[in-house]
Amino acid sequence: MRLLTVICFVSFSIIFSSQSAFAQSGTKQQSTDYSQYTHTIKSVVLNEERTVVVQLPKSYQAEPNKVYPVVYRLDGAGNIPLASAVIERLQNDNRAPEVIIVAIENTNRLRDFYPTVNKEPQGPVGEGGGAATFLAFFEQELIPLVNKNYRTHDYKVISGASAGGVFALYALQAKPELFQAHIAYSPAVWWNYGAMVKSTKSFITKTKDLNNYVYTNIGEEAGIMRERYDELQQSLQSHKVQGLRFFSDAFDGISHGLTSAAGVFNAYYNLFLPKQMPISALTDDVVSIDAYYQNLSQQWGEQVSPPDRAVRLLGYNLTDNQQFERAIEVFKYNIKNHPKSVSAISALSYGYEMQGNISQALAHMESALAIADDSYPYINYLKETKARLQVELDKRN
């Protein structure tokens, strides 16, 4: 488990409203880090006014051509600081992009979040059943307005806890392409005799391809809540749907109300692809490197080509594990993308040396030196390595 203790920061907001769209006007108040805008929307779909708070990334004003993924967080703006702090830590480690966070305030959360009306005596009988209408509000009104007024790209996350977690799972089934990631902290799947468990199992068994991410967790909950959650988790875990990335956590001793705080780090750590491709994502074919960075670019909203250093680290990992042929293939692939990189060429030399092919190691070290100048920080290392390789080759001859 990765549990992160975060210090939440205070953001100030800009408050203004509109009849049917977001108005960019009013007096601006801004913290040194993030800007927040509060919008009041007269929803035709819901037939009521709804309030949403939009937090923009730090770079938003300084980089006018940059676009951002969007995290839609249920249960209001009180959830922004925790998610924001965790995602920022991941950004600092090149493990997440900057994001726009849209928090939706509640009016009647049981009505909006549950897709079925509860008939089970242990819960509030007669409540629920409005999730389809609430999802239509997202699709027809909220998301189009956010896309119109802010620089977004088509990577959207829906995140909620308890009843909100049920809504996130419902959105996956009802509109699987609307959001690209679904986060459900301790989803209250006990509701209405486990109706969400049944519908999720049916959906998963019938689905063959699902390009999506799902995170769920649970705390110390017991009884039918735990039984029905375990059934849900096992179904998602056991059915290997192509393209679905599923992660889950169980936290002993964590109350239902704290499962979002306990799980937020893992939820986003596993969601966003880091710029340093993990060795586990590398197959026997270097095409997997291209595929990884294509997926990362789709998430991050910017074109990220395979970085020189990241690919070299993959090759070094392979040499450490004495997989020399694969390492050499990765180093060659890297040179194709970075033909003028002294470090890329010297890395290939190292791969050949570890393999025992001293002649090729020397040849590529000479190639690296041919394009390096005295400003290269490791120029002495290159010269010393060339001399050492030459001595070794002379001995063998």
Taking only the tens place, the pLDDT of each residue in 219-252 is 999 999 999 999 999 999 999 899 999 999 999 9
| In the chain, alpha helices (H) | 80-92, 109-113, 131-137, 143-149, 163-174, 191-206, 223-238, 259-271, 287-300, 308-320, 324-337, 342-355, 358-371, 379-396
Output the pTM of the full model. 0.88
Handedness of CA 74, 77, 79, 84 (dihedral sign): positive
Mean pLDDT of 179-186: 98
What does the pLDDT read at residue 22? Answer: 52
Q: Which residue has the tokens 């902290």?
A: 185
What does the pLDDT read at residue 59? Answer: 95
Q: Which of 138, 143, 140 is nearest to 100 (CA)?
A: 143
Mean pLDDT of 110-136: 96
Q: How far apart are CA 299 and CA 296, in angstroms?
A: 5
Q: How far apart are CA 143 and CA 141, in angstroms?
A: 6
Taking only the tens place, the pLDDT of each residue in 351-387 is 999 999 999 999 999 999 999 998 999 999 999 999 9
* Under 8 Å between Cβ of 145 and 58: no
What does the pLDDT read at residue 56? Answer: 98
Q: How far apart are CA 184 and CA 13, in angstroms?
A: 27
What does the pLDDT read at residue 20? Answer: 37
Q: How far apart are CA 99 and CA 91, in angstroms?
A: 10
What does the pLDDT read at residue 26? Answer: 27
Q: Which of 206, 306, 319, 267 is nearest to 79 (CA)?
A: 267
> For the chain, what is the radius of gyration of the CA atoms?
26
